[in-house]
């Protein structure tokens, strides 16, 4: 897994310099034995490979490839077969170069991991049910209404009860979850008048086994308007519901310190491409990088 993740760091490194190079796509995510033909010979594709307009792409059965166009627009190819790179490029005309900023941000984070500069993970909080949410000092702000909360089920298996309360300890909602994640909509009337929402997860069979309290904090109107304006620069290019678009959005939210929104986007990417292990790896690295999860003791 480390080898695969290390390869991702070569994607779009020094993106300003890359823009001056003669390429059409960079490979951002790869699953399977996909190949590219540049000239006479077929060569195995690796994450970080460049595809030029004259090249031909061969996607193997049960494979997947996520590309980023030179303009910054993402494209994923899932159907087995041969493709002319020029034909693929014709599908992504009109991209926004600002997208490169967020792709580069994701990949520079992986560069730090490959070079051993990544954060070592969270300080162990001692919670019996660790939630993968930022603490109060890590800016638990939220832009989107719909978010996914995830937690560690290793010690305490489901089912669970997820409780939401106001700062005055008034119960706002109580939801059941069989798995270690829950999708919630903060536009629900239960949360309408609350800017700060406390959340805990407890075992449904043993209420003494409960997580610490975490806060979900809505952005101020001014900050939300600022994020909305920045997001509008890439929204048209990432509106399709694809895993690679969710990955780019995760980069946007992480760079804007919206860790809950970024984590949600990564989990949505996993659901959209459940057979692509690399998305799971990127999500796990995100959690460790942002100290939302402990780094395994045997990990280097």
Summarised one tens digit per residue, pLDDT across range 73-113 is 899 999 999 999 999 999 886 655 677 677 666 666 654 55
- Cis amide bond preceding 159, omega within 30: yes
- Over residues 20-30, the mean pLDDT reads 79
- Over residues 32-46, the mean pLDDT reads 92
Higher-scoring residue by pLDDT: 267, 100:
267
pLDDT recorded at residue 12: 38
pLDDT recorded at residue 108: 64
Domains observed in the chain: 2-114 (no CATH), 124-300 (2.60.40.10)
C-alpha distances (whole Å) from 237 to each of 86, 94, 150 are 19, 8, 28
- DSSP letter (8 states) at residue 144: S
Which residue, 211, 189, 188, 187, is CA-closest to 198?
211
């Amino acid at each position: 897994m480390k080898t695969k993740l290390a390869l991702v760091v070569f994607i779009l490194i020094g993106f300003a310099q890359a823009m001056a190079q003669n390429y059409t796509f960079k490979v951002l995510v790869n699953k399977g034995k996909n190949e590219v033909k540049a000239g006479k010979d077929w060569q195995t594709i690796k994450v970080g490979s460049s595809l030029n307009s004259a090249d031909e792409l061969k996607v193997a059965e049960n494979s997947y490839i996520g590309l980023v166009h030179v303009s910054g627009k993402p494209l994923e190819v899932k159907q087995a077969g041969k493709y002319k790179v020029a034909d693929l490029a014709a599908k992504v005309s009109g991209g926004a170069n600002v997208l490169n900023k967020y792709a580069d941000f994701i990949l520079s984070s992986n560069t730090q991991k490959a070079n051993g500069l990544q954060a070592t993970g969270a300080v162990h909080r001692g919670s019996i049910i660790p939630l993968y949410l930022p603490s109060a000092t890590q800016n638990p702000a939220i832009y989107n209404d719909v978010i996914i909360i995830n937690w560690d089920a290793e010690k305490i298996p489901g089912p669970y009860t997820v409780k939401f309360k106001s700062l005055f300890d008034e119960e706002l909602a109580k939801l059941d979850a069989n798995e270690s994640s829950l999708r919630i909509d903060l536009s629900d009337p239960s949360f309408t008048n609350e800017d700060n929402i406390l959340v805990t997860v407890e075992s449904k069979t043993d209420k003494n086994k409960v997580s610490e309290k975490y806060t979900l904090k809505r952005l101020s109107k001014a900050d939300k308007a600022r994020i909305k304006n920045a997001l509008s620069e890439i929204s048209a290019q990432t509106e399709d519901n694809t895993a690679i678009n969710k990955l780019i959005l995760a980069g946007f939210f992480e760079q804007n310190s919206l860790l809950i929104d970024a984590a949600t986007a990564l989990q949505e990417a996993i659901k959209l491409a459940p057979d692509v292990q690399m998305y799971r790896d990127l999500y796990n690295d995100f959690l460790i990088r942002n100290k939302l999860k402990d780094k395994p003791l045997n990990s280097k």
